[in-house]
């Protein structure tokens, strides 16, 4: 068939339109999105929630570790499930870094159980990194923090190094400037840092994380002067020596309640970590703490938004990474 100028133009335009559609589809496949598994594994979120519910019936505080695992995963190499990988003879993995030693193996088992359910239903489809994001959301919802949609489509990384956890994760002793800089390095704002710190409203901490604040803090004070004296005395009874490693609730009024009492405690100088109490060291940041302390609804909604933002740090999507069959071992 002979092509006229008009038919040639039509063919070119049609091809360009097709190219644009294909490009748009390719771009979408490389982005996280809500409902990512709607067609490939429709029951994914339900199966993950079942694994979580089974676990929380046995260990009522397991969700605090799962939430912390997602945070620790995203801050090291991005949200790629690398915190789940086990160490080998030639490599000490993230989970065995000192800062992760308090993560209970039962929490890792929750991910294993969810993965087993998913592999039985839709093998090779759902990543371990996405399981962590979903189960962190389910933990927040279970303790009363509200349900939020989780964009998915993460793929799993193959590398896990303990040394990177040591250098990339915030410690309990950091002050405001260091915290702000560390979170900014992950693409998160100071406001999001203050918001995500609210995760400390659930779970426990070991005495070693804060005992330096209780005794011989400086030449003029036995305890950290930013710590309420009565609270310091209470903590000394829980941690009788500097070497004690007992567990203490991070937010005593609501150890298993995801609410704004964490911020109320900070305003009363009852932030357990130095990194908690430092959130009122400047007027601008103290204003956000006061807002959350007095308005639980604002905290809940902003926490959900900050979790979604954090969950997008350095993600592997599209053809990058892999879908691990066993979350503890790269394929």
Q: Which residues are annotated as a binding site?
A: 73, 76, 78, 80, 82, 94, 170, 200-201, 251, 259
Q: What share of the chain is helix, strand, coil (3-state, %, to 5)?
A: 55, 5, 40
Rounded-to-integer distance, Cα 219 and Cα 288, Å: 32
Residue of 330, 319, 263 whose CA lies nearest to 295: 263
- Binding site residues for Ca(2+), as ranges? 73, 76, 78, 80, 82, 94, 201, 251, 259
Residue of 128, 46, 78, 140 whose CA lies nearest to 311: 78
Would you please indicate which residues are annotated as catalytic (active-site) residues?
72
Rounded-to-integer distance, Cα 242 and Cα 87, Å: 30
* Residues 6+ away with beta carbon under 8 Å from 174: 182, 274, 275, 278
- The dihedral over CA atoms of 100, 101, 105, 110, expressed in degrees to the nearest 10, equals -10
* Residues 6+ away with beta carbon under 8 Å from 56: 62, 63, 142
* Residues 6+ away with beta carbon under 8 Å from 182: 170, 174
Contact 260, 292 (CB under 8 A): yes
- Binding site residues for substrate, as ranges? 170
* Residues 6+ away with beta carbon under 8 Å from 54: 113
Tell me how crowded residue 242 is: count the other CB atoms within 10 A of its CB.
12
Contact 209, 203 (CB under 8 A): no
């Amino acid at each position: 068939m002979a092509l006229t100028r008009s038919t040639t133009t039509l063919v070119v335009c049609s091809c360009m339109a097709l190219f644009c559609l294909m490009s748009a589809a390719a771009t979408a496949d490389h982005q996280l999105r809500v409902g990512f598994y709607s067609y490939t594994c429709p029951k994914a979120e339900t199966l993950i929630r079942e694994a979580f519910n089974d676990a929380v019936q046995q260990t009522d505080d397991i969700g605090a570790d799962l939430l912390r695992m997602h945070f620790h995963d995203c801050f090291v190499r991005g949200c790629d499930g690398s915190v789940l990988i086990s160490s080998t003879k030639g490599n000490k993995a993230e989970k065995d870094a000192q800062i992760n030693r308090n993560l209970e193996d039962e929490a890792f088992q929750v991910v294993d159980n969810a993965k087993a359910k998913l592999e039985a239903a839709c093998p090779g489809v759902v990543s371990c990194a996405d399981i962590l994001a979903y189960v962190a959301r389910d933990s927040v919802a279970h303790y009363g923090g509200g349900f939020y949609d989780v964009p998915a489509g993460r793929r799993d990384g193959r590398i896990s190094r303990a040394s990177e956890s040591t250098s990339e994760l915030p410690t309990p002793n950091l002050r405001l400037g260091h915290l702000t800089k560390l979170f900014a390095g992950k693409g998160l704002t100071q406001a999001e840092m203050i918001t995500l710190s609210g995760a400390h409203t659930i779970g426990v901490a070991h005495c070693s994380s804060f005992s330096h604040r209780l005794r011989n803090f400086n030449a003029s004070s036995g305890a950290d002067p930013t710590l309420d004296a009565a609270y310091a005395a209470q903590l000394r009874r829980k941690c009788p020596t500097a070497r004690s490693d007992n567990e203490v609730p991070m937010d005593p009024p609501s150890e298993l309640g995801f609410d704004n009492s964490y911020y109320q405690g900070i305003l009363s100088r009852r932030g357990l970590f130095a990194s908690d109490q430092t959130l009122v060291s400047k007027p601008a940041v103290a204003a956000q703490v006061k807002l959350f302390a007095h308005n639980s609804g604002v905290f809940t909604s902003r926490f959900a938004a900050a979790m979604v933002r954090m969950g997008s740090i350095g993600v592997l999507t599209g053809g990058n990474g892999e879908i691990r069959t066993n979350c503890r071992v790269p394929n």
